[in-house]
Structure 1
């Protein structure tokens, strides 16, 4: 049985090592904040952090993650996560909300590495995170807002 460390807890998952992380998170660990969007790592709805870096859970296989530290939207914490979540609320970013956990995880990844991103930095880091409601301008504004609060 593959072992995963998710949100600080090591858990044995009774599943095929080839199972995508997304399904282990949602179906075996009942953490439903990470969403299924496309299944081919193109939409970003399933973004989690693997060893602190944004990654698509639909393409990561649980058998390859025994030594990895996985963080889902339910487990994010710290100054950067708090700043991003506050900016999302303050600027009323969310419309339907489906993609937002992936958007937030990507934004936290960006601001963890770059505390003062330009629009181009934001566009590059958020590329591949699709919002079917088109809230891209609010997402960019929220990332700038979060960056200012971290300065």
Structure 2
């Protein structure tokens, strides 16, 4: 069974890019990676977060960042790659109010609320290429648009170790 070090995973996520206009100081994110553990409590499924010094295939991880913004950052974006050997968990992105979340099929984009991909389908006996929404589990990057926000902003999403 493969064990992955969260240090490697963390370094990949910390390598996330923060882009802002050249005249401002970029926000400095702090990153946490925690394992999501589910358990039954009084007949209900509950979740708790715990430190993850290593991971195994199937582990569910929560990556979260806290950014402190002055509100003067123009075009501030925080892009977090979905590391190799992990899969973005569909619908798991969460962010403070006012943060716009977009996704891409590669770290370099393009980013949109619903990334599209080209597929080949058969129509009338001919192969035809069509643009269709990509499944969320194919997303390779999550971008948080922080423009105009001030104070403490929290962003995060979940990934599953392959």
TM-score of Structure 1 vs Structure 2, range by shorter chain: under 0.3
- More relative contact order, 1 or 2 (CA 8 Å, 6+ apart): 2
What TM-score, normalized by structure 2, do the two folds share? 0.23
Structure whose CA Rg is larger:
2
Larger helix proportion, structure 1 or 2? Answer: 1
Larger strand proportion, structure 1 or 2? Answer: 2
